[in-house]
Amino acid sequence: MTIILLLIPIVLMLGLLGVVAFIWSVKSGQYNDLDADRYRILEDHDKPLSREEAMLHRRLTSFDDE
């Protein structure tokens, strides 16, 4: 019975902390633009590798035992 008296305030504080975190995230604009993220992954912002970088990449990622 005494464990319930200890756990109830802990659960209430964790719930309150979750609500406060959710309200903070909404007010700070975390949920303003949900559509941009689904298209951002399709964009390619990487620059092409130079010949030296491509050769180094091939050398580092090859699994041949020489």
pTM of the model as a whole: 0.52
In this prediction, residue 16 carries a pLDDT of 98
Instruction: Report pLDDT digits (tens) over 4-29.
Output: 999 999 999 999 999 999 999 999 98
Mean pLDDT, rounded, for 24-37: 86
Residues 6+ apart with CB under 8 A from 7: none
Residue ranges covered by each domain of the chain: 2-44
- 39-46, long-range: CB < 8 A, 24+ apart: none
